[in-house]
């Protein structure tokens, strides 16, 4: 059985993941409007991944006898500046999500819930990859010295499965 404190914290994370999904979908729309179909595709895939996180968290809560909930999801931004600014925002957001997940692990530890700790460590490992992926894109955008480099990266990110 999951504790009420951990259940509530995971439910807050479910809502945060839903907000993240909306953020990346909004970024996808923005990037597509700006003519960057590959970057837009990458963001749409990222949005789908965040939804999967929410589903996984909800399934976990229910398997442990708890109640999964989605709270109100706040409005997300609708516009950004340059590609670099978009992906710097992504990186900062992924760092914030990492902090939220670290706090979930801390709560599971304080509640002495080893099953939840194990489940959440898998989530931590995935989050490390997401943060690193965003940082890599930021680094590559900083190295693009011309439009050809940006268009190449756009094409490459459009291949994300």
- Give me the domain span that covers residue 19: 4-157
Q: How many domains does the chain have?
A: 1
CATH number, domain at 135? 1.20.1260.10
pTM of the model: 0.94
Percentage of the chain exceeding pLDDT 70: 100
Residues 90/93/97/100 CA torsion (nearest 10 deg): 180
Q: Average the pLDDT over 31-39 and give the result.
A: 97
pLDDT at 146 over 90: no
* pLDDT computed for residue 145 by the predictor: 80
**Which residue in 97, 89, 88 sits closest to 140, CA to CA?**
88
pLDDT in tens, 97-138: 999 999 999 999 999 999 999 999 999 999 999 999 999 999
Q: Which residues contact 122 (CB under 8 A, 6 or more apart)?
A: none
Widest pairwise Cα distance in the chain? 56
C-alpha 104/C-alpha 99 separation (Å) is 9
pLDDT in tens, 44-68: 999 999 999 999 999 999 999 999 9
pLDDT in tens, 93-107: 999 999 999 999 999
Instruction: Give the mean pLDDT of the chain.
Output: 96
């Amino acid at each position: 059985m999951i504790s009420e404190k951990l259940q509530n914290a995971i439910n807050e994370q479910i809502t945060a993941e839903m907000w993240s999904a909306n953020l990346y979908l909004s970024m996808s729309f923005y990037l597509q409007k700006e003519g960057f179909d590959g970057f837009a595709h990458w963001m749409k895939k990222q949005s789908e991944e965040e939804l999967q996180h929410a589903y996984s968290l909800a399934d976990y809560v229910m398997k442990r006898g708890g109640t999964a909930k989605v709270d109100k999801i706040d409005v997300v931004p609708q516009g950004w500046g340059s590609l670099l600014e978009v992906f710097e925002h992504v990186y900062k957001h992924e760092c914030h999500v990492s902090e939220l997940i670290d706090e979930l692990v801390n709560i599971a530890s304080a509640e002495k819930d080893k099953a939840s700790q194990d489940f959440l460590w898998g989530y931590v490992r995935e989050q490390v990859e997401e943060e690193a992926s965003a940082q890599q894109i930021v680094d590559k955008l900083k190295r693009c010295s011309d439009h050809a480099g940006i268009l190449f990266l756009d094409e490459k990110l459009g291949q994300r499965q």
